Amino acid sequence: MNFIFISLDTMRASRLGSYGYNKPTSPYIDKIASQGVLFEKAYAADIPTEVAHTGIFTGKIGLTTGVVSHGSELTSLSKSVKWLPSLLKNAGYNTAAVDNLYNLKEWFARGYRHYINSSGSTRWIDGRTVNELASNWLEANGRDPFFLFLHYWDPHTPYMPREEYLGEFYDRSKNPFDPSNTSMDAAYNSAAYPFFKYHHYDLLGSVTDADYMNALYDAEVRYLDDRIRELDEELERLGLVEDTMLVLFGDHGESLTEHDIYWDHCGLYDTTVNVPLIIRWPSRIDGGHRVPGLVQQVDLMPTLLEAAEIPVPDDLDGKSLWPSMLGLAEGTHEHVFLSECAWQAARGVTDGRYKLIVTYDSGPFKRPPRELYDLLTDPAETNNLAEQMPELADELQRLMDEKVREKLAGREDPMQKQLEIGLPFRRRIEAILGEFGLSWDDWWNDPVRAKFDEAVEQTRKKRIPEGQAQ
């Protein structure tokens, strides 16, 4: 048997047709879902990318491994921690990855016989590149049992889809640069603007229509859907479909203006932490099954090990998804615990109906210390019930605090350690502002982009010789 393990970076579950979206973003992924098992309430326990993937490949949440923050120099992963590709390699599987997470942390290359770094001359990785590298590897190595990890980045910012993909999602009679449209003002005046000016907005021009930005995201998802189709057609050509477990998962989702988060993946709201998870294995799993209960990303490791008949370590936080896939259970967990420590520091817990979020450092955002949401009646998480239902909020917080104490087992809390030196993404903004003589307090107290844009423009003029400015 074989495994193809696919990370759909920044894929928001609710933006896929099989998860209820009413626009044609994912016809082929929806087809795969109909051929396998779809998990309706799959959660990323830790966000964003670095911590999510660490949990996926260790079967352990960040409180267990100590890896809770993205882009932090404080984090490391002991080589004694069991790693999914290493266990599969030791069991005789040919292991390979088309990925660039190694550029973030060295441990992402562990356990692979072939690690094919997908990074090129630019920061952007096109799904066509991933497919080309994957196809070449499969052609040469697909005859023996293998584990192949593929990491697609297409829905991640900057959203720059091919022009032909945009028409289905944006009314071409509209002008996305219309100066009378003010729907982008909140994004341009947010405290995170200095970061996104460089990494997103400047690449798109002076967009004024927030709907256009959302359409760009949808077009990127649709483009990726075609790349998944191409990959699957290659598997068909090579005769690998029947005996290959194909796993599609999101590492985190994306907020598309909700909760004052503009085209980014922070916040423990379902837009970011409820991720797609679809598993297809035609020779072993009946198609068309949907799992309604709570599962989480760390459940993937024990699931794959069980499929490969490799002993599952007894110290994992994840639980096998096999009972749920076979219709013997509705999920794997009564509660899922959530964590982030990049833009802001917060923890949360959900039982599938209610969700509590406790914020310790709101970073560039304005957040209440506690948020409680009824996901059944308020799926958009807009009505904070923490003051109306204090007993339930207290009960969930006690449960969460007990989980933290249990997992730390006397060790220093890595989130508190990170907060002592500052959140990684705040430090990124501070570095950008510092280049132009501005401070975090300058921006936070007067978050008007004109000040920043003026400083950038003056610096640009100084760097370009007179008469050469364009």
What CATH number does the domain containing 151 carry? 3.40.720.10
Contact 30, 17 (CB under 8 A): yes
Q: Are strands 244-249 and 277-280 parallel, antiparallel or unpaired?
A: antiparallel
- Decide if 95 is inside a domain: yes
What are 250-280's pLDDT values in tens digits? 999 999 999 999 999 999 999 999 999 999 9
- Decide if 342 is inside a domain: no
What are 277-315's pLDDT values in tens digits? 999 999 999 999 999 999 999 999 999 999 999 999 999
Domain carrying residue 236: 2-334
Helix (H) or strand (E) holding 149: strand 146-152
Report which listed range, 15-24, 123-132, 432-441, is most confident: 15-24
Whether the predicted pLDDT of 193 surpasses 70: yes
Q: What is the pLDDT of residue 438?
A: 78
Q: Which of 330, 350, 347 is nearest to 339 (CA)?
A: 347
What are 446-458's pLDDT values in tens digits? 655 677 777 777 7
- Decide if 269 is inside a domain: yes
Confidence of residue 460 (pLDDT cuts 50, 70, 90): low
- Decide if 440 is inside a domain: no
Confidence of residue 466 (pLDDT cuts 50, 70, 90): very low
Q: What is the pLDDT of residue 447?
A: 56
How far, in Å, CA of 61 to CA of 404, rounded? 11
Contact 296, 64 (CB under 8 A): no
How far, in Å, CA of 374 to CA of 370, rounded? 14
CA neighbours within 13 Å on the CB side: how many for 383? 10
Give the tokens for residue 386: 């923490």
Confidence of residue 467 (pLDDT cuts 50, 70, 90): very low
Q: Average of pLDDT values for 105-118?
A: 96
What are 68-83's pLDDT values in tens digits? 999 898 999 999 999 9
Crossing angle of helices 300-307 and 49-58, in 10° steps, is: 30
Q: What is the pLDDT of residue 444?
A: 66
How far, in Å, CA of 406 to CA of 396, rounded? 15
Q: Which of 419, 257, 274, 422 is nearest to 338 (CA)?
A: 274
- Please write down the HEC assignment for all residues of 380-429: CCCCCCCCCCHHHHHHHHHHHHHHHHHHHCCCCCHHHHHHHHCCHHHHHH
Go through 419-439 and write b for each residue having 16 or more CB atoms within 10 A of its CB, e for each that does not: eeeebbbbebbbebbeebebe
| Higher-scoring residue by pLDDT: 197, 357 | 357
- Decide if 284 is inside a domain: yes
Q: How many Cβ atoms are within 10 Å of 136's Cβ, its own excluded?
A: 12
- Decide if 417 is inside a domain: no
What are 360-387's pLDDT values in tens digits? 999 888 999 999 999 999 999 999 999 9
Whether the predicted pLDDT of 468 surpasses 50: no
- Decide if 259 is inside a domain: yes
How far, in Å, CA of 169 to CA of 41, rounded? 26
CA neighbours within 13 Å on the CB side: how many for 58? 26
Confidence of residue 461 (pLDDT cuts 50, 70, 90): low
Strand locations in 274-411 (E): 274-275, 277-280, 289-296, 336-341, 345-350, 354-361, 370-374
Confidence of residue 464 (pLDDT cuts 50, 70, 90): very low
Whether the predicted pLDDT of 470 surpasses 50: no
The answer for residues whose C-beta is within 8 angstroms of residue 174's C-beta and 6 or more apart is 209, 211, 212
Q: How many Cβ atoms are within 10 Å of 177's Cβ, its own excluded?
A: 13
Instruction: Count how many domains the chain has.
Output: 1
- Decide if 353 is inside a domain: no
How far, in Å, CA of 311 to CA of 76, rounded? 26
Task: Residue count of the chain, please give it.
Answer: 470
Q: What percent of the chain has pLDDT over 90?
A: 84
- Lowest mean pLDDT, pick from 55-59, 60-64, 74-78, 380-384: 74-78
Q: What is the pLDDT of residue 154?
A: 96
Whether the predicted pLDDT of 59 surpasses 80: yes
The pair phi, psi for residue 467, each rounded to 5°, is 90, -10
